[in-house]
Amino acid sequence: MTAKTTKTAKPAKTPPTRPANARARKSAITKARKQSGSRTTLIIGAVVAVVGIALVAAVARGGNNSSIPDRVPASPAVVAQVTSVSPSVFSTVGVGTATSAPQPISSAPLTTNGKPRILYIGAEYCPFCATERWAMVLALSRFGTFTNLQQTQSSSSDVFPNTHTFSFYGSTYTSKYIVFEPVETETRTGKPLETPTAEQAQLMATWDVAPYTTQPGSIPFMNFGGRYVTTGATYDASVLQGKTAEQIATALHDPSSPIAKGAVGAANTMTAAICKLTNGQPANVCSDPTIAGIMAKLG
């Protein structure tokens, strides 16, 4: 009975407002949770909206892709101009403003089918390769013929952006005197293009180092028959800045233009190195006093 009395008495001792407070508190917590939940939904909604906006921007702007194609077949007019620079221009320019000449190395001769082999490793994005290709096409065209040369531009986001140039990718070169082996490793946007063979990579690893370069592994890298190497551009890349391929090709015929002084000068040093490999063949090129003079200095 006592226990019963105690039990019934207990609610009476409790203040009458307490259950109401608990209910109110519970209700307040529920309300706060609901509000918090809706704000959390708002935050997540904002994140989803941002992703949606990014998608819309991608579709709108990405679809309007005005980027330059990797390469196009070279303009026959440009190729004709570059491969028809007169001997008098080569003679007048001499070494011009070429900043370096092929450096002699001591290694086994590089040959293919008995012909001296010239290895080039570069990439389409590389602005210095873009610079060097003008001189290479000039020099190599004196010993043979290119077909299917391509035109491209260097990377739009590197130094000397969008330098107009040729690409050797997909081209062929025929010559009585030499074999030309070009490797373009990447496109102008950095996509893989051609992989050097193990032998080519080994040649680069062996000779694209000090003292021949301050930056090991740098491109463009050229090996002339195992007797000479060049790394990097051998004339000032800035002379080509802002010029179209047509403008560059035209300027090559003017021996007083900075482009001719650079590209033709570099071509003459390459020509002299190749003449060393071919034992002075062809005579009409290698016996030119300008070339003979450079050959004497090459070592």
Partner 1 sequence: MSTQSFSVFFATLAVACWAGTATALVLAYLHRRDPESGAGVLYGDLSRVALWIAFAVAMTTTLGSLYYSEIAHFVPCKLCWYQRIAMYPLSITLLVGALRRDRLVWWYVVPVATLGSVISIYHTQLQAFPSQHSSFCTTTEPCTIRYVWEFGFVSLPLMALSAFAVIIALVLIARSAPTEP
Distance of closest approach, residue 27 Cβ to partner 1, in angstroms: 17
Q: Which two tokens stand for residue 211?
A: 């003292």
User: Which residues 6+ apart lie within 8 Å of 194 measured at CB?
Assistant: 169, 183, 184, 185
Q: Would you count residue 210 as binding partner 1 (CB under 8 A)?
A: no
* DSSP-based three-state secondary structure for 150: strand
**What CA–CA distance (Å, rounded) separates 238 from 188?**
18
Q: Which helix (H) or strand (E) holds 127?
A: helix 127-140
**Any bridge partners for residue 192, and if so which?**
186
Contact 221, 233 (CB under 8 A): no
Binding mask 15-54 for partner 1 (x = CB under 8 A): ---------------------x--xx--xx--x--xx-xx
Contact 144, 175 (CB under 8 A): yes
| 94 backbone φψ class: left, alpha, beta (φ>0; ψ -120 to 50) | left
Q: Given candidates 57, 72, 80, 292, which one binds partner 1 under the rule CB under 8 A?
A: 57
Given the rule CB under 8 A, which of 14-22, 55-63, 135-143, 244-252 is the region that contacts partner 1?
Answer: 55-63
Q: Which two tokens stand for residue 175?
A: 């010559």
Q: Would you count residue 190 as binding partner 1 (CB under 8 A)?
A: yes
Given the rule CB under 8 A, which of 108-116, 183-191, 222-230, 279-287 is the region that contacts partner 1?
Answer: 183-191
Encoded amino acid at 162, one letter: N
Distance of closest approach, residue 69 Cβ to partner 1, in angstroms: 13
Q: Which is nearer to partner 1, 92 or 218 (CB)?
A: 218
Distance of closest approach, residue 40 Cβ to partner 1, in angstroms: 5
Encoded amino acid at 193, one letter: L
Q: Would you count residue 157 as binding partner 1 (CB under 8 A)?
A: yes
Contact 229, 55 (CB under 8 A): no
Contact 238, 130 (CB under 8 A): no
Given the rule CB under 8 A, which of 89-97, 137-145, 182-190, 259-267 is the region that contacts partner 1?
Answer: 182-190
**Number of amino acids touching partner 1 (CB under 8 A):** 39
Q: Would you count residue 77 as binding partner 1 (CB under 8 A)?
A: no
Q: Given candidates 98, 101, 118, 126, which one binds partner 1 under the rule CB under 8 A?
A: 126
Q: Given candidates 155, 171, 234, 268, which one binds partner 1 under the rule CB under 8 A?
A: 155
Distance of closest approach, residue 133 Cβ to partner 1, in angstroms: 15
Give the full edge-to-edge strand order of the sheet including 150-153.
Answer: 72-73, 150-153, 164-167
Distance of closest approach, residue 197 Cβ to partner 1, in angstroms: 15
Contacting positions for partner 1 (CB under 8 A): 36, 39-40, 43-44, 47, 50-51, 53-55, 57-59, 61-63, 65, 67, 123, 125-126, 155-159, 185-186, 189-192, 214-219
